[in-house]
Chain A
Amino acid sequence: SQQGEEDPQALSIQEGENATMNCSYKTSINNLQWYRQNSGRGLVHLILIRSNEREKHSGRLRVTLDTSKKSSSLLITASRAADTASYFCATPGRGSYKLIFGSGTRLLVRP
């Protein structure tokens, strides 16, 4: 079963625009991660935010975490065609020995 659910399922924007993806999860967590997957390839870790952090930045990425609402958002600023990919949030499963991925957001950045 999915722990996290991303919204929207698909997003199409123009190059240069910002892209925002949201993730909601069900149980208490100590951290949340975001990964990117280019079509048919392995996932790549983007950023990890801990439960005591509200916001984190990495280059053009900005992640927020609201533990009271059990939600996180990933903002990609000044998007590029190379950002076209699927983006997944991931949270630790029961016992923290497994990482459960959401259903993903498919982002298309049009040149």
Chain B
Amino acid sequence: DSGVTQTPKHLITATGQRVTLRCSPRSGDLSVYWYQQSLDQGLQFLIQYYNGEERAKGNILERFSAQQFPDLHSELNLSSLELGDSALYFCASSEGGFNVLTFGAGSRLTVL
């Protein structure tokens, strides 16, 4: 157990739907990162939050949004889902510094 908790572990949904992925960072970590891992795109950086504020953005689609709450947990919202959104979504957290990340086990999203 890495200390980073992601829910749900697996999610199957249909095109056009909306889902929310949840992440609780490791105790004491203020930064949360979201990554998407698909077979053809590798591990893609989506977005990073630090203590509730957005710090960095990657190639995150407009259909995707995220936020970090005062208790430091984070949610990634994916809407108008397409088949190509099927992937593993990872949350990671860090305490800062050189950005050594602790990853959660991931949420596997399947869009049918």
Whether chains A and B associate is yes
Interface residue ranges, A against B (CB under 8 Å):
1-2, 30-31, 33, 35, 40-45, 48, 50, 88, 92-93, 95-104
Contact B33 A45 (CB under 8 A): no
Q: How far is the CA of A98 from the CA of B58 in the complex (A)?
A: 8
Residues of A within 8 A of B106 (CB): 40-42
Residues 26-82 of B at the A interface (beta carbon under 8 Å): 33, 35, 42-43, 45, 48, 50, 55-56, 58-59
User: Quick one: given A45-B101, A48-B100, are A97 and B43 in contact (CB under 8 Å)?
Assistant: no
Q: Is B25 an interface residue (CB 8 A)?
A: no
User: Quick one: given A97-B55, A98-B33, A99-B33, are A43 and B45 in contact (CB under 8 Å)?
Assistant: no
Enumerate the 10 nearest inter-chain pairs by beta-carbon distance, A residue then B residue, closest first. Answer: A42-B103, A97-B56, A98-B56, A101-B43, A97-B55, A43-B103, A103-B42, A42-B105, A98-B45, A99-B99
Separation in Å of the A85 CB from the closest CB of chain B? 13
Q: Mark each residue of chain B from 81 to 112: 1 if its CB lies under 8 Å from any CB of chain A, else 0.
A: 00000001010100000111111111010000
Secondary structure call for the B interface: strand
Other A-B pairs beyond A42-B103, A93-B45, 4, CB < 8 Å: A1-B59, A41-B106, A43-B101, A45-B102
Which residue on chain B has the smallest CB distance to residue A99?
B99
Q: How far is the CA of A79 from the CA of B106 in the complex (A)?
A: 27
Q: How far is the CA of A44 from the CA of B45 in the complex (A)?
A: 16
User: Quick one: given A100-B45, A104-B42, are A42 and B2 in contact (CB under 8 Å)?
Assistant: yes
Contact A33 B90 (CB under 8 A): no
| Cross-chain contact of B90 among A30, A42, A48, A102 (Cβ < 8 A) | A42
Contact A43 B90 (CB under 8 A): yes
Which residue on chain A has the smallest CB distance to residue B91?
A42
Residues of B within 8 A of A104 (CB): 42-43
Separation in Å of the A104 CB from the closest CB of chain B? 7
Q: How far is the CA of A93 from the CA of B4 in the complex (A)?
A: 23
Residues of B within 8 A of A40 (CB): 88, 106, 108
Which residue on chain B has the smallest CB distance to residue A2?
B42
Separation in Å of the A59 CB from the closest CB of chain B? 17
